[in-house]
Amino acid sequence: MKQHRHLWFASLLLCVCWSLQPLPAEGQTKYIEVETEATYEAGEEDSKKDAIEKAKTKAEREAVEEIVGVFLESYTEMVDFQTVKDRVQVFTHAHVKVKVLHKEYDCEAGCRAFVKVRVRVARSELVKFEQKVEELRRQPPSPQANQRREDSTPRREILVTQDRAGVVIAASALELLTSDISMFTTVLADTLESRRIKTLGEIFAVPPGNIRIFRWGVSMAPVGHAYHGGTWYTVWHGSGGVNETLYIGPAGAIVEKVTRIPPPSQNAGSSS
């Protein structure tokens, strides 16, 4: 009987202690959840299942972009001062749990699928993302930075996350070659204008005219490189008389300047 009283008292004490724990504030919640929806216009070769799955993937990607952000990665390879490979990748990546809230498929005016999802991302994972980006931003410029532009050794840095059992990965990767200029400009314009943007890796050795980007509808092109404060930057300049330069540096350091500057033809001589 005495032992039962001890067990009862211990249980009561545990309940009291649990009830006294403070409730987590909204900013301290363990997960971040968003609801997104997407529509996919089915093609001739898309089955109903394919169309719904593609709409679901699109909605998942938009949710992850909203929570985590969009990342840029550049891969450049040079031989004898000539660019032989130049690829830019726009992607978002996170471990998520997805719940489909609604889906439908109709073919009244062309077949299309509609999906609404709820996506959950662990807040701890966002902290890891931010720490990795901050670590890259704080890396001192390498003394061999200029040499990398002159040799044929490709350099690639990418944020890698490992899968966990039972957790779905919603990832979107779009690889673009220099021939895909129109697609690249459209994607990057949307990315820069409406979403937070982070960069990973180093964008360098982009010869003028190789890739063009649009920023708020303004065509921009790389005009050379600038060296300032121990850091090399790829210089992008607005065309058509627009006075805007975008400096993209190592480890994703982006510095914007909106000011009156010389046109690219005059500026290229000083950016070496």
Overall average pLDDT of the 73-85 stretch: 59
* Inside any domain, residue 7: no
* Inside any domain, residue 83: yes
In the Cβ-directed half-sphere of 100, how many Cα atoms lie within 13 Å?
A: 14
pLDDT at residue 85, as a whole number = 63
pLDDT at residue 82, as a whole number = 61
The per-residue b/e assignment along 143-182, b for 16 or more CB within 10 angstroms, e otherwise, is: eebeebbeeeeebebebeeeeeeeeeebbbeeebebeeee
Task: Round to the nearest angstrom and report the end-to-end CA distance of the chain.
Answer: 88
The amino acid that residue 28 corresponds to is Q
The answer to whether 89 and 176 are in contact (CB under 8 A) is yes
pLDDT digits 0-9 by tens, 206-218: 333 333 333 333 3
Total domains, the chain = 1
* Inside any domain, residue 87: yes
* Inside any domain, residue 21: no
For 50, left (φ over 0), alpha (ψ -120 to 50), or beta? alpha
Overall average pLDDT of the 43-54 stretch: 88
Cα–Cα distance for residue pair 34/123, rounded to 1 Å: 13
User: Is pTM, for the whole model, over 0.75?
Assistant: no
pLDDT digits 0-9 by tens, 137-154: 565 544 433 333 333 333
Whether residue 75 has pLDDT greater than 60: no
Which residue range is the domain that position 113 belongs to? 26-267
* Inside any domain, residue 19: no
The amino acid that residue 188 corresponds to is L
Whether residue 31 has pLDDT greater than 70: yes
Cα–Cα distance for residue pair 113/105, rounded to 1 Å: 4
* Inside any domain, residue 14: no
The residue with greater pLDDT, 241 or 117, is 117
Q: Which of 52-56, 103-107, 220-224 has the lowest mean pLDDT?
A: 220-224
* Inside any domain, residue 6: no
Cα–Cα distance for residue pair 270/272, rounded to 1 Å: 6
* Inside any domain, residue 10: no
Overall average pLDDT of the 169-184 stretch: 33
The residue with greater pLDDT, 129 or 100, is 100
